[in-house]
Each structure stands twice: as structure tokens, then as C-alpha cells.
Amino acid sequence: MGSTTVRTNASGWRGVDIIQLALGLLAVAAMTISMWAALYYAPAASNLAGDEQIAQRIFYIHMGCNIGALAGFLMSVIGSIVYLVKRDLDWDRVSQASIEVGLICGMGTILTGMFWAKPTWNTYWTWDPRLTTSAITVLVYLAYLLFRNGIEDRRTRARFGSIYAVVAFLSVPLTFYSARLFRSIHPVVYGAENVDAQGGFSVGATMTQALNINMIAFCVLFSALLVLRWRQLRNEDAIAELREELE
């Protein structure tokens, strides 16, 4: 089997290490700024009071996590398709790393959403289309990780994982549309009005700034984690190959 993992004998700092360290430091700074923006910089919502007023600040982190999850799952289907076309294991690692990071973000979205929903909707969970879709999506990608781990051969694992990731990604929008036919109570802060929405608020200029800061910050965090995990997977494969050679 051809070795695809790059092996270098160089020790000490390399370019990738420096990029990764810079990304990591940038992510720490970005998360600090994002918390400041969400908790202090963003003004109070004018139409909410009490617990709801405090809970609405979770929205910024909620949206940030959501962007991370979206980026992860989009990245995974790109990685899978490119792997199936080019058969370069690096793209399979991109797919796996982005799904792992996307899953953490997706669970973050669900958790923050639940903490917000209890004071606002008076329930942690309801079968709203967005909630349904996010829960199903997390389950789909958890299944992806379980499935991968059960396959011994490295190439088969990459190929089967990619096939599943493509099918899984396609099912997500259909899940959303089918669930949306049931009445939705999720507020739509941007875009279309939802007449049945509960707990929404109108967004002012400062709020938009805070939201943009959070979205960018979570994108930085996402990239830092993705690069870190991708390199980790690369090293794992390199170790596995070396071990095989020794045996």
C-alpha cells in the first residue's frame, strides 16, 4: 500500500507549527472578544424582561456555534467528494476532522438553545423544525464516527465514510423541509417573518456588530480546531504506517 503520509526528518519548528500556534492564539483572543461582545457590548433587548432578558445574550454564542457546525458539515461533504474523486487520504482526514469539530459546535448549538428555550419557551425541548433538524444532524454525524471506527482497513474506512457523509449531508435539508410543515415557533431574527415565533427581538446596529464579531470569532475557533485535529489525524496515520513497517 502506497504511503501517502508525509514524513520529514526535520526537528524543531516548521512553518505549519507556527501557523497552527498563531491560529490557536488568535482563537483564544477571538473567543475573549466574542464573550465581551456578547455579554457587555451588545445592548439589552428592548422588548424582553427578567430571565428572558438575560437569556437572550446566549443568542450570540448560539449563532456562533451554529456557524461552526454549518462550516464543519459543509466542509465534510466537500472533503468526502474530493476524496472519492482524488483518493487522497488527506481529504478524508479533512472530512473526519471537520465532522468532529462540527459535532462539538452542533452540540453547543443545541445546549445553548436549550438553556435559552427554558426561560423563553418554558420548555427545554420542542419539535420545532430547527430543533428537529439539529438533533437529527448530530445523530447522523455521531453515527458517522461510530461507523468509521468499526472498519479496520484504512482505505475502506475512508471510502465508506465518504459515501456515508455524502448521503447524510443530502438528507439534512429534506429533514428540515419535512419538519417545517409542522408549525414552527422558532424566532427568525434575520430574514423572513415567522408570525408564530415566540421570544424573538428586533436587532439594532450594535447587536448586529456583536453578532458579526461572534460569527467571525467562532469561524477562527473552528479553523484552529480543524487544523489541529487534521494534523493530529495525519500523525496518527503516520504512526500506524511506521508501526506496520516495523512489524
Partner 1 sequence: MNEEAVQANVQTMRLDLAAEPVTMQRGGGALTYLRKIGAVFVKDVRAEWRGREIFSTMTAFSVLAVLVFGMAFDLRVPRSEMIAPGVLWVVVLFAGVLGLNRSFGAEVDRGTLASLLLAPVDRSAIYFGKMLANLFFTLATTLVILVVMFFIFDLNMFHPYNLLAVLLGVIGYVGVGTLFAALTANSRARETMLPILLLPVMAPVFVAGVGLTAGVVDGKQFSDLRQWLVILAAFDAIFIVVAYLLFDLIWEDA
Q: Which of 31, 69, 77, 168 binds partner 1 (CB under 8 A)?
A: 168
73 φ, ψ (degrees, to nearest 5): -75, -35
Rg of the chain taking only CA atoms, in angstroms = 21
Least Cβ distance, residue 74 to partner 1 (angstroms): 17
Site string for partner 1, 103-142 (x = CB under 8 A): -----------------------------x---x--xx--
H or E element: which one contains 11?
A: none
In angstroms, give the least distance from the CB of 231 to partner 1.
Answer: 27
From 74, 170, 188, 240, residue interacting with partner 1 (rule: CB under 8 A): 170
CA dist 209 and 196 (Å) reads 27
Of 61 and 138, nearer to partner 1 (C-beta) is 138
Q: Which residue has the cell 417573518?
A: 193
Residue 160: CA atoms inside 13 Å, Cβ hemisphere, count? 15
H helix or E strand, kind and range, residue 153: none
Stretch that binds partner 1, among 52-60, 107-115, 160-168, 192-200 (CB under 8 A): 160-168
Distances (CA, A) of 58 to 53, 142, 204: 10, 25, 16
Q: CB 221 → partner 1: shortest distance, Å?
A: 26
Other C-beta atoms lying within 10 Å of the C-beta of residue 164: 17
Note whether 150 binds partner 1 by CB under 8 A.
yes
* Site for partner 1, rule CB under 8 A: 84, 132, 136, 139-140, 143, 146-147, 150-151, 155-156, 159-160, 163-164, 166-168, 170-171, 174-175, 177-179, 181-182
